[in-house]
Amino acid sequence: MDDFARIQTFIKVVEAGSFSAAARNESSISSVARQVKSLEDELGIRLLNRSTRSLSLTEPGRVFYERVLSIAKELGNAKWEAKSFQENVKGVLRVSLRVLPGSMLIVPALPKLVALYPELSFEVSLSDERCDLIANNIDVAVWMGDMPDSELESRRLSPSRRIVVGAPSYFERHGMPEKPSDLRDHNCLLLAGRPYASGWGFTKEGKSEEVEVEGNLRTESGLVLLSAAMAGQGLIVVHEWMLRSPFTEGRLVRVLGDYTVRPRPGSEAELHAAYPRSRGSARKVSVFVEFLLALFKAPDTLTR
């Protein structure tokens, strides 16, 4: 069995959180489990703790995952860059992006894609609402949630892991929470609207805890929350993919890293790249989708 194929399967299992999710639309659950077990047998260590309800990395498994994830990304980037010389990609690519991933991650990374394909240009719209891609002549959209439309193809970009963060300036004034109950003494910035309760849920070692939080800002805009947090106003819960740049630049710091932030009802949705099935074979579409996949698979330092 190919070593790299087994490693890729192992990475998928870790990111998906289960064998069944990793196998979805690609292979059988037994095949996925067999590949991971084969890898463990060869290494002589257990990479994953298995239970009837969940999977978790062992300590050697976490070290192995972090190393191979970086290697897999570099190999993926090398293959992607090599392919870029095979065909000339040009024309206008019309994309619709969710506001936060579009403004915080995707648009700032576009110069790299333009450097590879100087004849490719973009028409970009930012919206958290889904539009009819075919009727609006959109080539690729970045959406959150399920993809029920049979006329669309989709690729998963990122899981929906959420974390608690704040600015260094805020922690200098108020200190860092060491456990979820400490959040009651902190200014927690909240999303407005009916689905967004003021209770933040956490789990650790199988134990759950719900904390009612309060703050001096409530808004319907995730971008407003992020800006306020970076300005030192308070703490927020966000999807970790939103924070790659603010985190690496030191503008935000993760707290309560030993805890898993439970998703609120209806918020387990993952980020996807969606495109009309009729356009999936277009070179400019496939190049942009591969670019998004490579971008979101960048090694994540937030969980370390």
User: Which residue ranges make up each domain of the chain?
Assistant: 3-82, 86-159+269-296, 162-262
Q: Is 232 left (phi over 0), alpha (psi -120 to 50) or beta?
A: left
Supply the angle between the helices 59-83 and 3-16 in degrees, to the nearest 10: 110
Q: Write down the architecture of domain 3-82 according to CATH.
A: Orthogonal Bundle (1.10)
User: What CA–CA distances, in Å, run from 280 to 107, 140, 143, 290?
Assistant: 21, 9, 17, 12
To the question of domain 162-262 being in CATH 3.40.190.290, the answer is: yes
Q: How confident is the model at residue 266 (pLDDT cuts 50, 70, 90)?
A: very low
SS (H, E, C) 86-151: CCCCCEEEEEEECHHHHHHHHHHHHHHHHHHCCCEEEEEEECCCCCCCCCCCCCEEEEECCCCCCC
Residue with tokens 């059988």: 28
* CATH class of the domain whose range is 86-159+269-296: alpha beta
pLDDT of res. 1: 52
Hey, what are 64's tokens? 């192995």
Domains 86-159+269-296 and 162-262 share a fold: yes
Closest CA to 13 of 42, 39, 33, 43: 33
pLDDT of res. 300: 47
Residue with tokens 């819960």: 237
User: Is the pTM value of this prediction over 0.75?
Assistant: no
Highest mean pLDDT among 192-196, 287-291, 300-304: 287-291
Share of the chain above pLDDT 90, in %: 27
Helix (H) or strand (E) holding 15: helix 3-16
pLDDT of res. 269: 62
Report, as an integer, the average pLDDT of 188-211.
80
Mean pLDDT of the chain: 83
Hey, what are 73's tokens? 């990304």
Q: Is 117 left (phi over 0), alpha (psi -120 to 50) or beta?
A: beta
Q: Say yes or no to pLDDT of 291 above 50.
A: yes
pLDDT of res. 150: 66
Q: Say yes or no to pLDDT of 264 above 80.
A: no
Q: How confident is the model at residue 179 (pLDDT cuts 50, 70, 90)?
A: very high
Q: Say yes or no to pLDDT of 304 above 50.
A: no
